[in-house]
Structure 1
Amino acid sequence: MTITQKNSKGGLSRRSFLQRSTMFVGAAGTGGFAGVGTAFAQQFPERNIDIIIPTGEGGGADRDARAFAKVWAKHLATNFEFGYYPGAAGQVGYEFYMNREADAYGLIFANLGPEVIMLEMQDTGISVGEDIVYIQQTLSEPMAVWVGPNSPFATIQDLVEEGKRRPVTVSVSRLPHPASIGMLALGEATGANFVLVPYGGGNPSSMAAITGEVDCCALPITNTIVLGDQARVLGVFADTNVVPEQTNNAPTVNAAMGTSIPAMTSSRAWGVQRAAYDAHPDRIKALVASMQATIADPAYAEAVEGTGVPAVFIDAGGEDVAMATAQAMKELANKYRDLLAGS
């Protein structure tokens, strides 16, 4: 497997050029097309697979896609080229992806929560199901609200009470996001005033909270886990906190505040243009078979853990599961459309 990367203008970055020789793994010598039917293996793929990430290099999507590709190379004998196209809450990446050739040699690695919400909220002309199909879900995780190590807020109750006295600033990666909805819903339920400040990605959002530039941060919970003692989780937007040891036994927001906010989660999934899905069913079948073989491979759980993401967040499902998740996100976006629009 050779992993290269492109910048938003489509060219190879200097860093990626230097990495080409150091990140090579011979896919044909690591199991080739294990898990893929022979008929498919003889025909597809004949060239590299492009992976489009609608956020910046080095973020959570990049981390999770690379962990997957590392093992995927054992089950799909090809090379992977990563391209990063951040902007407009993911809209730039989606528009770039939809305009590329619909040949099934290009896939988008999606963060279903924020990106489906974005597609619902913004005038993109891209419709889930009609224009893009999510064919394999990989991971899911809940949203969390947290503070930096020097924050005066010890509990979610402290944060809410402060929000009743003054506007409390919350760094978020982008406004159309389950974490954003969670904080706005918490404010609506308690009377606290939370002001969302989008930073265009998880890393800058986290740094704003760590340095005290904002009062708190709301992101997928893995972001707090990889930060260690730099992040103190105050609440989890889920029915249960499934990683209590990694979050200092943080309570769920509903349990702590007596609210009934829906679980705010986001799932990673591989998506493909509907035109490619319809025109190349054999290629899609080969891709899905190799993806499923990857998820079933114990090396995948090891790769996930190796990035700092708990393996408990592996939440695999085929097209039916991924599209059901996307539909749930569309419903969430419409339920909280007025709150998001008002933010």
Structure 2
Amino acid sequence: MKQTKLNAAGRIGRRRFLAGAGAGVAAAASGGLLAPGMALAQGFPDRNIDIIIPTGEGGGADRDARAFASIWGNHLPTNFQFGYYPGAAGQVGYEFYMSREPDAYSLIFANLGPEVIMLELQGTGITVGKDIVYVQQTLSEPMAVWVGPHSPFRTLEELVEEGRRRPLTVAVSRLPHPASIGMLALGEELGIEIILVPYGGGNATAMAAITMEVDCAALPVTNSIVLADQSLVLGVFAKENVAPEGTDNAPTVNAALGTSLPALTSSRAWGVHRAAYDAYPERVAALVQSMSATLADPAYVAAVEGTGVPPVFIDPGNEAEAMASAQATIELARRYRDLLTGS
């Protein structure tokens, strides 16, 4: 896998806590399995499965999709081809995906938070449920605000105090994003000015924080975890920090600042054309069965851990759960539309 490494040294605390974090994940996933022994659709698949990723190669979606596919191949007798279509906050990838033949041989690997917000706000003409169905959720993680190792800010309170004197610049991977909502809502509640600077991907966003081109970064928390000593997490947009040893024991944003912001998370999920979902239910069932088997496979936990992602973020969810995550994000986008669009 082609992946940019920003630091070769690992933070001991961040790595040690991963060792036992995957316990129970396979058992949790097994509840979503279809009936044991269900046969794959006759003759399906008889060629490669195309995986469309609406961000760049080497980013978080690529990392997570490849970790999944490395085990998925043990449960679905085929090979996987990856295509990357970044641009316009994911719109380019989704439009390309919709141009593909809806035959269940093409899937989209979605980052539900930013991409569902994008679909809601950018007038793409692509509607969740009507055009795309998310059939399997794999991972979920909260958003975090963090700084580079040489930043003068060592706590969230210090960052906010600086924001009372001048506008704060915040690197984000794309403007339609749960992390963007978190920072804009934080600024609105505290009366400080937040200037979002989109960098078009997690790696570039991280580098901007590390080199102090900006005051801080706001991204899914895994991005900071894999950076080890190159990042210092100041706060997590969640009700609870479930990975304290991997995140410098960072507080939640609400606990640190007394705010009342919503929990902001994003889930990875596999999506399929609605037309394929309706026309080829047996193929979709075969895909979902093998996805569920992958999530229940202990080897998947090891694959996730091998990428540096805490297994505690593995979050198996069936179609109903994945679509509920998408709908919750749509409602969040509507709630914060004015902040995200500047209207």
User: Quick check: TM above 0.5?
Assistant: yes
Measured in 2, the distance between the counterparts of 1:37 and 1:269 equals 24
Aligned twin of 1:293: 293
Give the CA deviation at 1:154.
Answer: 1.1
The amino acid of 2:101's aligned partner reads E
Residue 142 of structure 1 aligns to a residue whose secondary structure is strand
The amino acid of 2:253's aligned partner reads V
Residue 63 of structure 2 aligns to a residue whose secondary structure is helix
Give the CA deviation at 1:41.
Answer: 5.1
Give the CA deviation at 1:39.
Answer: 4.1
Aligned twin of 2:206: 206
Matches within 5 A, 1:99-248: 99-248=99-248
Measured in 1, the distance between the counterparts of 2:100 and 2:113 equals 23
Between 1:200-209 and 1:152-161, the stretch displaced more is 152-161
The TM-score with structure 1 as length reference comes to 0.89
Matches within 5 A, 1:45-124: 45-124=45-124
Q: Any stretches of 5+ residues in structure 1 without a counterpart?
A: 5-33
Between 1:38-47 and 1:133-142, the stretch displaced more is 38-47
Q: Which has the higher contact order (CA 8 A, sep 6+)?
A: 2
Kindly provide the CA deviation profile for residues 113-158 of structure 1, in whole angstroms up to 9, marking residues without a partner as x. Answer: 0000000000100000001000000000000000000100111111
Aligned twin of 1:309: 309
Once the two structures are aligned, what percentage of the paired residues are identical? 76
The amino acid of 1:71's aligned partner reads I
CA RMSD of aligned residues (A): 1.6
Measured in 1, the distance between the counterparts of 2:39 and 2:169 equals 56
Give the CA deviation at 1:42.
Answer: 3.8
Measured in 2, the distance between the counterparts of 1:185 and 1:161 equals 16
Measured in 2, the distance between the counterparts of 1:37 and 1:50 equals 26
Measured in 1, the distance between the counterparts of 2:56 and 2:223 equals 15
Residue 272 of structure 1 aligns to a residue whose secondary structure is strand
Aligned twin of 2:7: none
The amino acid of 2:267's aligned partner reads S
Residue 43 of structure 1 aligns to a residue whose secondary structure is coil
Give the CA deviation at 1:314.
Answer: 0.4
- Retained in 1: the 8 A contact 2:117–2:330? yes
Residue 291 of structure 1 aligns to a residue whose secondary structure is helix
Aligned twin of 1:272: 272
Kindly provide the CA deviation profile for residues 13-60 of structure 1, in whole angstroms up to 9, marking residues without a partner as x. Answer: xxxxxxxxxxxxxxxxxxxxx998564254210000000000000000
Measured in 1, the distance between the counterparts of 2:220 and 2:121 equals 20
The amino acid of 2:72's aligned partner reads W
The amino acid of 1:289's aligned partner reads Q
- Retained in 2: the 8 A contact 1:35–1:75? no
- Retained in 2: the 8 A contact 1:226–1:308? yes
- Retained in 2: the 8 A contact 1:131–1:274? yes
Measured in 1, the distance between the counterparts of 2:314 and 2:103 equals 28
Aligned twin of 2:28: none
Residue 330 (structure 2) pairs with residue 336 (structure 1): no
- Retained in 1: the 8 A contact 2:168–2:194? yes
The TM-score with structure 2 as length reference comes to 0.89
Matches within 5 A, 1:249-260: 249-260=249-260
The amino acid of 2:76's aligned partner reads L
Q: Any stretches of 5+ residues in structure 2 without a counterpart?
A: 3-33
Residue 331 of structure 2 aligns to a residue whose secondary structure is helix
The amino acid of 2:162's aligned partner reads E
The amino acid of 2:44's aligned partner reads F
Residue 316 of structure 1 aligns to a residue whose secondary structure is strand
Give the CA deviation at 1:163.
Answer: 1.1
Kindly provide the CA deviation profile for residues 141-183 of structure 1, in whole angstroms up to 9, marking residues without a partner as x. Answer: 0000000001001111111111111111000000000000000
Kindly provide the CA deviation profile for residues 220-254 of structure 1, in whole angstroms up to 9, marking residues without a partner as x. Answer: 00000000010000000000000100111100000
